[in-house]
Copies of this chain bind each other. A is one copy, B any other.
Amino acid sequence: MPVDLPLAPKQKRPAGEPCCEPVVYPDVQREQAQHLAAVAKALGDPIRLQLVDVLRKHAGKVCVCELVPLFDVSQPTLSHHLKVLREAGIVDSERAGLWAFYYVVPDALKELETWLS
């Protein structure tokens, strides 16, 4: 994840010259940044963040019917948020008859946590 920008202070510079040479950003990092940002983006809604919070607290699988009454949004809206989290790879679901049970994918948040620390 390191970048190694050649970061000269450049307090003063000659008038006509450019301020600094363009630095190539490694593509590997760019891809990882895209993934990290995608996870962060999925967490960037209060309802989704609380959903993840609830699911993580109850380490097991949680029925959607338990989740809906926790929030002041309609059932389709909550279903949409769960879909966003699923597509970001943060949660997954399992059906049992009529019910759907959601859970946090193990280590799905680890990469972001590592980057943050």
Residues of A within 8 A of B (CB): 1-5, 7, 10, 19-23, 25, 29-30, 33-34, 36-38, 40-46, 48-50, 53-54, 57-58, 60, 62-63, 65-66, 69-71, 109, 112-113, 115-117
Contact = CB atoms under 8 A, between A and B. Distances in A.
A75 to B, nearest CB: 11
Contact of A57 (B5, B19, B113): B5
B69 A21 contact: yes
Nearest 10 CB-CB pairings of A with B: A41-B44, A22-B69, A19-B65, A40-B43, A113-B116, A40-B44, A44-B44, A37-B46, A37-B49, A34-B46
Contacts of A38: 44
